[in-house]
């Protein structure tokens, strides 16, 4: 991939994220999330390997479904309340659909199945972007809308994520899959806290992003993607 294309995709990622975190209208938020999705797809599929193409397809289908649900939630809320403002989410059905959409965007259980598969098909650099930068816009939305969402549902999904992330990560030999399940588990802990203390969730997210970036960059330097090769790295 030539540098100009990489630059365009990087700018698009930054633009999409900025639009999402600075908007308070549901349609502009949806547009920002779509820009993000379309910018990351070529980065996932850039190796042209069948596994990378499969990962890009899975990512696209999941994110498109989540974006459609988010727009449907906003439209339902606007239909009943006449408000497109992000903070005016009051209709119970809209809150439920939005929770599902954000869980799908983040890879929160029970909508987590796509995340390990997509990470496994991506390069380490793209996997790093997917695990950190791509989680930031939906996490921001979750923080802003958390007072409107059902705390029992959020806590149930969070406990399920923390448990599944821990258990399913135990039996893996691929480092990217281990990190994917680690990410699901971390998200579980963040979402448990979000109903009670959103600022603490944000701090948790920053720490998670810092640790994940360190691990991915280290693995990228030593060109390691399996536990068996990691064991012989020192020699």
Check residue 191 and give its pLDDT.
Answer: 94
The answer to the question of residue 130 being in a domain is yes
**Which stretches of the chain score pLDDT less than 70?**
none
Instruction: Give me 123's structure tokens.
Output: 């390069």
The answer to the question of residue 191 being in a domain is yes
Structural domains counted in the chain = 1
Tell me the pLDDT tens digit for each residue of 179-196. 999 999 999 999 999 988
Check residue 12 and give its pLDDT.
Answer: 95
Q: What is the pTM of this model?
A: 0.92
The answer to the question of residue 233 being in a domain is no
DSSP string for 70-81: HHHHHHHHHHHH
d(CA 176, CA 47): 17
Instruction: Give me 103's structure tokens.
Output: 């869980």
The answer to the question of residue 235 being in a domain is no
DSSP symbol at 174: B
The answer to the question of residue 195 being in a domain is yes
The answer to the question of residue 43 being in a domain is yes
The answer to the question of residue 116 being in a domain is yes
Residue 184 phi, psi (nearest 5) = -60, -40
Tell me the pLDDT tens digit for each residue of 146-176. 999 999 999 999 999 999 999 998 988 899 9
The answer to the question of residue 231 being in a domain is no
Domain that holds residue 206: 3-225
């Amino acid at each position: 991939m030539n540098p100009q294309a990489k630059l365009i995709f990087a700018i698009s990622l930054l633009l999409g994220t900025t639009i999402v975190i600075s908007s308070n209208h549901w349609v502009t938020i949806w547009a920002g999330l779509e820009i993000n999705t379309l910018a990351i797809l070529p980065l996932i599929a850039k190796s042209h390997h069948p596994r990378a193409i499969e990962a890009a397809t899975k990512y696209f289908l999941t994110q498109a479904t989540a974006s459609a649900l988010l727009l449907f939630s906003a439209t339902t809320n606007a239909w009943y309340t006449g408000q497109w403002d992000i903070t005016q989410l009051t209709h119970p059905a809209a809150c439920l659909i939005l929770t599902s959409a954000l869980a799908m965007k983040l890879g929160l259980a029970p909508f987590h199945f796509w995340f390990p598969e997509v990470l496994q098909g991506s390069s380490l650099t793209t996997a790093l972007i997917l695990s950190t930068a791509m989680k930031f816009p939906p996490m921001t939305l979750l923080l802003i809308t958390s007072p409107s969402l059902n705390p029992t549902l959020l806590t149930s999904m969070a406990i399920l994520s923390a448990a599944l992330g821990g258990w399913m990560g135990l039996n893996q030999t691929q480092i990217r899959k281990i990190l994917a399940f680690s990410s699901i588990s971390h998200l579980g802990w963040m979402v448990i806290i979000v109903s009670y203390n959103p600022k603490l969730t944000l701090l948790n997210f920053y720490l998670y992003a810092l640790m994940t970036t360190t691990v991915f960059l280290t693995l990228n330097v030593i060109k390691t993607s399996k536990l068996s090769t990691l064991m012989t790295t020192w020699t």
